[in-house]
Amino acid sequence: MIYQKEEFVEEGSDDEKFPVKRIERWQPVYEEGATKFIGSVALGVRTPGGVQQLPVDFEIDAEDLEEAFEKFEAAANPKVEEMRSRLQEQMQKARQESSQRIVTPDQAGMGGGGDQSGPIDINDLRADNK
């Protein structure tokens, strides 16, 4: 199905959680069908490179544009929480993976000086091998 898409933005509302609400209205062009309302918010994610904006899109069950804006927060909340959960899981997994790696001084950008023969073999460090 082919849709015509229009974008509507509500700014400056008293809503502290979603001060900017963005809704797209998708109307079928050639066939009969229901109009879709797609809400969108940007979730700020703090990364080593600064804050990145992660888009979160969700469908709003509404008959018209006014109703879509009224139902915006109720439709957005579960999707935003789901995205936060997924991000936390990914960050936890990344932390676990990074804590299991052995980083040599050369890999960490510290130079390491001396022998440049490659990574350290953990078996060479065991006291019972001496």
Instruction: Per residue of the chain (130 residues), give pLDDT as tens.
Output: 899 999 999 987 677 788 889 999 999 999 888 999 999 998 887 777 888 888 899 999 999 999 999 999 999 999 999 988 888 888 888 778 777 776 667 666 665 554 444 444 445 444 444 4
Other CB atoms within 10 A of residue 20 CB:
13
- List pLDDT tens digits, range 93-109: 877 877 777 666 766 66
CA 8/CA 100 separation, integer angstroms: 47
Taking alpha carbons only, the member of 7, 5, 8 closest to residue 29 is 5
